[in-house]
Amino acid sequence: MAKHQFQTEVGQLLHLMTHSLYSNKEIFIRELVSNASDAIDKLNYLKLTDEKMKASLPEDWKGEINISFDEKDKSLTIVDNGIGMNEEDLIASIGTIAKSGTKSFVEALTGDAKKDSNLIGQFGVGFYSVFMVASNVDVISKKAGEEQAYKWSSTGTGEFEIIPVIKESNGTVIYIKLKDEEAQEFASKYRIKNIVGKYSNHIAYPIFLNYQEEVSEELSEEDKKAGKEPEKKLEKKHEKINEATALWTQPKAKLKQEEYNDFYKSISHDSQDPLLTIHTKAEGVNEYTTLFYIPKTAPMDMYRADYQPGVKLYVKRVFITDDEKELLPTYLRFVRGIIDSEDLPLNVSREILQENRILANIKQSSVKKILSEIKKLSKDEEKYEEFISQYNRPLKEGAYQDFTNKEAILELLRFKSTKTELGKMTSLESYKQRAESEQKAIYYIVGENEKVLRNSPLLESYKKNDIEVLVCDDKELDEIITPALQAYKEWEFKDITSCEPPKVEQSEEEKKEVEEKFQDITKKIKEVLGEAVKEVKVTNRLSDSASCVVKDASDAQMAQMMQMMRAMGQEMPESAPILEINPEHEIVKKLNGCKDDSLVEDVSWVLLDQAKLSEGMEVTDAVSFAQRVSRITAKAL
Ligand SMILES: Nc1ncnc2c1ncn2[C@@H]1O[C@H](COP(=O)(O)OP(=O)(O)OP(=O)(O)O)[C@@H](O)[C@H]1O
């Protein structure tokens, strides 16, 4: 008899399951049925691709799931004839080794029981949900092709036990001893039928409910006349309680949205309806069916490198894999659903999959279809806002990664801008329409804080000229992606921190004249600031502020590279900016010609630091900044 400790996170999870998650307990049936179906899927695949496995199975083997209950025993049993688990599988899958998801699940718990039980499926902690209702669980399993069967038992606290047992056929039996208070609800024919109908109706295999029912014997006319009481006896029932058809194989016209929604819930473990459903049957060079869903709420692991892909691959209704990230591009990793191909060979290996031309075609058409359906969704403003609130970020990645569909993705993106109210966003098309006829660029500013960006001195000349600027406040992503977008319908994207200000109504002579007038002071400031600035210039970019910091085009490229390095975990210093001063401003005018060297020094630093602060950057030395401001104030009083 071997006792094992649950791994810490599994232990934590089980504690939560049993003590905190009360709402929606019924989903444990959905989770176990879905595991049973997955196990049959796996064996089905092996039967078709592995000669040895085929030989070891009965000729007429067909996957099925059996559920039975016993009111007196207060138990529920779920049986499948799928792939089964051996000792190592039992330990690895439901025991000591917490999958990466379990830890993040525990971290993501909100304390709100309803939301939390919603997270269960998303993190792949499905099996453990059984402990919401069970006082003890036995998992008796025999792996297909192996001799020895094992029994895993646990009360869901601290430890579990595995012993070898005898079991004739391959597959898994899950015997659930219900807690007293749950027995009445779940050891019930009607309740089980109702739950299976709700969540597992379109599981591709038949689900049978087995129970005993009291029936009265049929009396003959004579016996009836003689007033004989009919005898009551228990009859065994074996009733199919689901449709057992793969939903996606049915004609679109026959399916109701409600059925699509139910199927979505059964494959995604989400309790909400999907935001968008896309069912496509393609005939022609390649024959395939796809059924895609976009969840209302982005999957919890969307920003984890080890996210679980949401699309399952089938070949002629046979499940092939649900662990292939290449089925859709990474930026569409939030899409859930299935791809069922008629043309792929059944024994496709992962390597073949990745290079397969048929799959590449399906992928390409699927992406186009999904993007065009999102475009249609954008006509419904309310729904589209919902979509954007969840998926603008991955789509931005798409505009960067997917060159072929860049234009289509750019149309779907939404941006904050100086001409939208706080909290509202604009499309690039609307931006273009609002612009004046001679404008041929899309201006943007990147930073961390929307409020700071909206007040940046760099916007002054744009505001004055009524030019809209996109406010990109997702610095980590925008600094890399936005410059790489290059252009939308021939309108170049221009970073206002590194491009020329608009409508510079200044002739070369005027420019030269101003530069000469301020030559000494710009030189002096540069001397004071040294390596802290790349250059000091007088320009007419500003109207209200005295100074700002900008980058030139090559610095902007450098900044983009540095941001990439930072994203990869490298420490990177900020490169020295160009300090631009406003010749029309009081401070600059007075500074030009100031004989007090220590004052010039203090003011030079303050010009740099205040420009940085108002553009949302950090000053290098806050204490010195404060001391300088004090000294200047003292002199001014
Ligand atoms: N009936 C079963 N037959 C064979 N293997 C099973 C069965 N039930 C569970 N398993 C194994 O245990 C693992 C863990 O199951 P669990 O329900 O906790 O998560 P999951 O099914 O992997 O994730 P999700 O719930 O998101 O689908 C499964 O991946 C599978 O390998």
Which of 127, 199, 268, 271 best tests ligand 1's pocket when mutated (most atoms within 8 Å of CB)? 127
Indicate the range of 23-37, 110-124, 339-353, 547-561 predicted with least confidence.
Answer: 110-124
Q: How far is the CA of 50 from the centre of ligand 1 (A)?
A: 22
| Overall average pLDDT of the 139-161 stretch | 94
ipTM of model: 0.97
CATH superfamily of 510-554+568-636: Heat shock protein 90, C-terminal domain (1.20.120.790)
**Mean pLDDT highest for which of 17-31, 59-73, 612-626?**
59-73
DSSP string computed for 8-47: HHHHHHHHHHHHT--TTTTHHHHHHHHHHHHHHHHHHHHH
Q: Does the C-beta of 502 come closer than 6 Å to ligand 1?
A: no
pLDDT bin (cut points 50, 70, 90) of residue 593 is confident
Q: How far is the CA of 87 from the centre of ligand 1 (A)?
A: 14
Provide the percentage of residues in the chain whose pLDDT is more than 90. 54
User: What's residue 489's pLDDT?
Assistant: 93
Q: Does the C-beta of 82 come closer than 6 Å to ligand 1?
A: yes
| Overall average pLDDT of the 267-292 stretch | 92
**Mean pLDDT highest for which of 228-232, 384-388, 631-635?**
384-388
d(CA 59, CA 13): 42
pLDDT bin (cut points 50, 70, 90) of residue 356 is confident
Q: What is the mean pLDDT of the chain?
A: 88
| Overall average pLDDT of the 71-78 stretch | 95
| Overall average pLDDT of the 244-251 stretch | 90
- 561-586 pLDDT per residue, tens: 777 777 777 777 777 889 999 998 99
78 pLDDT exceeds 80? Answer: yes
Q: How far is the CA of 93 from the centre of ligand 1 (A)?
A: 7
- 3-55 pLDDT per residue, tens: 898 887 777 778 777 776 656 788 889 889 989 999 999 999 898 888 888 88
Q: Does the C-beta of 94 come closer than 6 Å to ligand 1?
A: yes
418 pLDDT exceeds 90? Answer: yes
Nearest CA to ligand 1 atom 22: 124
User: What's residue 403's pLDDT?
Assistant: 94
Indicate the range of 180-184, 265-269, 372-376, 550-554 predicted with least confidence.
Answer: 550-554
Which of 533, 502, 508, 537 lies closest to 522, judged by CA? 537
Helix (H) or strand (E) holding 80: strand 75-80
- 437-484 pLDDT per residue, tens: 888 999 999 998 899 999 999 999 899 889 999 999 998 889 888 888
Q: Check if the beta carbon of residue 578 is closer than 8 Å to that of residue 533.
A: yes
User: What's residue 429's pLDDT?
Assistant: 96
100 pLDDT exceeds 60? Answer: no
Which of 88, 93, 268, 306 best tests ligand 1's pocket when mutated (most atoms within 8 Å of CB)? 93
- State yes or no: 172 annotated in a binding site: yes
242-262 CB burial, b ≥16 within 10 A, e <16: bbbebbbeeeeeebeeeebbb
Provide the percentage of residues in the chain whose pLDDT is more than 70. 93
pLDDT bin (cut points 50, 70, 90) of residue 99 is low
| Overall average pLDDT of the 313-340 stretch | 90
Q: How far is the CA of 51 from the centre of ligand 1 (A)?
A: 25
- State yes or no: 100 annotated in a binding site: yes
Q: Check if the beta carbon of residue 551 is closer than 8 Å to that of residue 559.
A: yes
Give CA separation, 39 vs 112, 141, 246, in Å: 32, 11, 16
Task: State the pTM of this model.
Answer: 0.76
| Overall average pLDDT of the 199-225 stretch | 87
pLDDT bin (cut points 50, 70, 90) of residue 1 is low
Q: Does the C-beta of 80 come closer than 6 Å to ligand 1?
A: yes
**Mean pLDDT highest for which of 14-23, 103-112, 457-466, 501-510?**
457-466
- For the domain covering 391-495, report its CATH number: 3.40.50.11260
User: What's residue 230's pLDDT?
Assistant: 83
CATH number for 2-216+232-240 (one of 3.30.565.10, 3.40.720.10, 3.30.420.40, 1.10.1660.10): it is: 3.30.565.10
Q: Does the C-beta of 27 come closer than 6 Å to ligand 1?
A: no
d(CA 207, CA 33): 9
97 pLDDT exceeds 60? Answer: no
87 pLDDT exceeds 70? Answer: yes
Q: Check if the beta carbon of residue 459 is closer than 8 Å to that of residue 516.
A: no
Domain boundaries, the chain: 2-216+232-240, 247-377, 391-495, 510-554+568-636
Architecture of domain 247-377: 2-Layer Sandwich (3.30)
User: What's residue 118's pLDDT?
Assistant: 63
pLDDT bin (cut points 50, 70, 90) of residue 146 is very high
Domains 247-377 and 510-554+568-636 share a fold: no
Indicate the range of 5-9, 393-397, 413-417 predicted with least confidence.
Answer: 5-9
- The 10 Å Cβ neighbour count of residue 428 is 21
